[in-house]
């Protein structure tokens, strides 16, 4: 049985910053990338607010650079996904589709996934006109009309990106005020291809084979209407990818892992960083910062462990 010093679950900004720091601390960390290699930046077109890139950088390039940087310091990338864990035993046990890992310390940086609307037609037409990623799917809507659901930064940023391809982008928002930052609001309002449909929610998505229309309900007047469209892009926030840790790591009511200021979870030796533990800031830069902190903490914790006891013990008291 090989026992790794540190397994990092996730390869977004938090996981990769942790990998760089842990690599430089000589821990040879294993990074389980998850299904979405690079995390959310990998499906972001342009990142304008990451310090050090005054002209912006594409998400794909940032991911490629950060992965190269982590590997330079000895991080080992495993293109697989953690599907089960046991954090009640030492060493910690992590199962992926292809292997099992044992680790003295773990950093959970599994990020978050797009939240679903939960309306009829959403599941059936995903990949047939329903999408959660403009950067990935925008090209398929060249010369077509699309709707974007949501009023936050993601919705506006993606709506702006979609105007490269679509002839018209209608943003459907459940209120009459946007949550998005001022700079994105201004850009969207100035863009001739973008229209806003205020105080409205999508209640159904229609086919039959591909998306052809949505049903809207005006939340103020109660009026129901049908809007023809070729695509529905949904950006209504995220839910943390924390399901496999349920019952082991403490979480809040929305599934965000609870940590202290030092990224420590309720289990000594297990740290959490990035969006899986952050319902508030959720930025590339804040996630990267937390990843660095988690790696520094893990390094300290491993040094203390080394000094105090053997690394591999069966802890009967915490096994039940
Ligand atoms: P968000 O800020 O939570 O916004 C979600 C939007 O979806 C809100 O406008 C919300 O409406 C709406 N919404 C939520 N549930 C809904 C439902 N069931 N039906 C209809 N509408 C619903 O999420 P986000 O835009 O994905 O952003 C996440 C985080 O990433 C934020 O912190 C954001 O600042 C950050 N981010 C930053 C950038 C950037 O800096 N360039 C880009 C992308 C994301 P209400 O407004 O009424 O709540």
pLDDT > 70: percent of the chain:
96
The DSSP result for the chain, as a single string, is: --EEEEEEE--SHHHHHHHHHHHHTT---EEE--SSTT-GGGG-SEE--STT-TT-EEHHHHHHHHHHHHHHTT-EEE---EEEEE-SSSSEEEEESS-EEEEEEEEE---EEEPP---TTTTTTBTTTEES-HHHHGGGGTT-EEEEE--SHHHHHHHHHHTTT-SEEEEE-SSSS--S-HHHHHHHHH-TTEEEE-SEEEEEEE-SSS--EEEEEETTT--EEEEE-SEEEE-S-EEES-GGGTTTS-B-TTSPBP--TTSB-SSTTEEE-GGGG-SS---HHHHHHHHHHHHHHHHHHHHHHHHHS-S----GGGT-
pLDDT at 310: 57
298 domain-assigned: yes
- Closest-CA residue to 31 (of 55, 46, 12, 52): 12
Determine the Cα–Cα distance for residues 58 and 46; give it in Å rounded to an integer: 4
Specify the residue with its C-alpha closest to ligand 1, atom 36.
153
pLDDT at 311: 52
Segment 173-180 shows an average pLDDT of: 98
Same domain, 101 and 244: yes
Same domain, 8 and 109: yes
Is residue 119 predicted with pLDDT exceeding 80?
yes
Determine the Cα–Cα distance for residues 191 and 172; give it in Å rounded to an integer: 16
**Residue 177 is part of which domain span?**
130-234
CATH of the domain at 18: 3.50.50.60
169 domain-assigned: yes
Specify the residue with its C-alpha closest to ligand 1, atom 34.
153
120 domain-assigned: no
Pocket probe for ligand 1: among 13, 203, 237, 286, the residue whose CB has the most ligand atoms within 8 Å is 237
Mark which of 178, 209, 234 sits at the end of a domain.
234
Specify the residue with its C-alpha closest to ligand 1, atom 3.
237
Quote the number of domains for the chain: 2
Same domain, 18 and 41: yes
136 against 190, higher pLDDT: 190
Q: Mean of the per-residue pLDDT values for the chain?
A: 95
Kindly indicate the confidence band of residue 320, based on its pLDDT and cuts at 50, 70 and 90.
very low
Same domain, 293 and 145: no
Same domain, 143 and 109: no
Kindly indicate the confidence band of residue 315, based on its pLDDT and cuts at 50, 70 and 90.
low
Q: Establish whether residue 56 lines the binding site of ligand 1, counting it when its CB lies within 6 angstroms of any ligand atom.
A: no
Kindly indicate the confidence band of residue 316, based on its pLDDT and cuts at 50, 70 and 90.
low
| Rounded distance from Cα 181 to ligand 1 centre (Å) | 10
Same domain, 247 and 219: no
Segment 160-185 shows an average pLDDT of: 97
Same domain, 46 and 195: no
Same domain, 175 and 310: no
Is residue 8 predicted with pLDDT exceeding 60?
yes
Segment 210-239 shows an average pLDDT of: 97
Same domain, 147 and 288: no
Please write the tens of the pLDDT for every residue from 247-279.
999 999 999 999 999 999 999 999 999 999 998
pTM exceeds cut of 0.85:
no
77 domain-assigned: yes
123 domain-assigned: no
Kindly indicate the confidence band of residue 1, based on its pLDDT and cuts at 50, 70 and 90.
confident
Mark which of 234, 258, 274 sits at the end of a domain.
234
Q: Establish whether residue 235 lines the binding site of ligand 1, counting it when its CB lies within 6 angstroms of any ligand atom.
A: yes
308 domain-assigned: yes
Active site residues: 133, 136-137
Segment 101-114 shows an average pLDDT of: 97
| Rounded distance from Cα 247 to ligand 1 centre (Å) | 28
What are the structure tokens assigned to 224, written together?
A: 């129901």
Pocket probe for ligand 1: among 236, 239, 256, the residue whose CB has the most ligand atoms within 8 Å is 236
pLDDT at 313: 56
Q: Establish whether residue 13 lines the binding site of ligand 1, counting it when its CB lies within 6 angstroms of any ligand atom.
A: no
Segment 104-120 shows an average pLDDT of: 97
Determine the Cα–Cα distance for residues 238 and 163; give it in Å rounded to an integer: 23
Same domain, 307 and 224: no
Query: Left if phi > 0, otherwise alpha if psi is -120 to 50, otherwise beta: which for 222?
Result: left
| Rounded distance from Cα 151 to ligand 1 centre (Å) | 6
Q: Establish whether residue 282 lines the binding site of ligand 1, counting it when its CB lies within 6 angstroms of any ligand atom.
A: yes
Q: Establish whether residue 49 lines the binding site of ligand 1, counting it when its CB lies within 6 angstroms of any ligand atom.
A: yes
Segment 183-201 shows an average pLDDT of: 98
Same domain, 108 and 7: yes
Q: Establish whether residue 187 lines the binding site of ligand 1, counting it when its CB lies within 6 angstroms of any ligand atom.
A: no
150 domain-assigned: yes
Mark which of 204, 234, 264 sits at the end of a domain.
234
Same domain, 163 and 265: no
140 domain-assigned: yes
Q: Establish whether residue 47 lines the binding site of ligand 1, counting it when its CB lies within 6 angstroms of any ligand atom.
A: no
């Amino acid at each position: 049985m090989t026992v790794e010093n540190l397994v990092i679950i996730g390869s977004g900004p938090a996981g990769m910053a942790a990998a760089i720091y842990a690599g430089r601390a000589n821990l040879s960390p294993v990074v389980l990338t998850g299904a979405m290699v690079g995390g959310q930046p990998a499906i972001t077109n342009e990142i304008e607010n990451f310090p050090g890139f005054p002209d912006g950088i594409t998400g794909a390039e940032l991911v490629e650079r950060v992965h190269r940087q982590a590997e330079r310091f000895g991080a080992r990338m495993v293109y697989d996904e953690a599907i089960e864990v046991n954090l009640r035993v030492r060493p910690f046990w992590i199962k992926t589709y292809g292997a099992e890992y044992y680790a003295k310390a773990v950093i959970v940086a599994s990020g978050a996934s797009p939240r679903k609307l939960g309306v009829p037609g959403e599941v059936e037409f995903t990949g047939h006109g329903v999408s959660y990623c403009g950067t990935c799917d925008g090209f398929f809507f060249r010369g077509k009309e699309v709707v974007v659901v949501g009023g936050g930064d993601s919705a506006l940023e993606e709506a702006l990106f979609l105007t490269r391809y679509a002839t018209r982008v209608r943003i459907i928002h459940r209120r009459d005020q946007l949550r998005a930052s001022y700079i994105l609001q201004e850009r969207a309002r100035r863009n001739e291809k973008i229209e806003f449909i205020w105080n409205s929610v999508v209640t159904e998505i229609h086919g039959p084979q591909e998306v052809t229309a949505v049903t809207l309900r005006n939340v103020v007047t109660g009026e129901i209407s049908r809007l023809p469209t070729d695509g529905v892009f949904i950006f209504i926030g995220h839910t943390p990818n924390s399901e496999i840790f349920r019952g082991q790591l403490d979480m809040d009511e929305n599934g965000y892992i609870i940590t202290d200021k030092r990224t420590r979870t309720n289990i000594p030796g297990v740290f959490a960083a990035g969006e899986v533990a952050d319902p508030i800031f959720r930025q590339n830069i804040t996630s990267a910062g937390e990843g660095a902190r988690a790696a520094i903490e893990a390094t300290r914790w491993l040094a203390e462990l080394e000094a105090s006891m053997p690394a591999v013990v069966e802890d009967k008291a915490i096994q039940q």
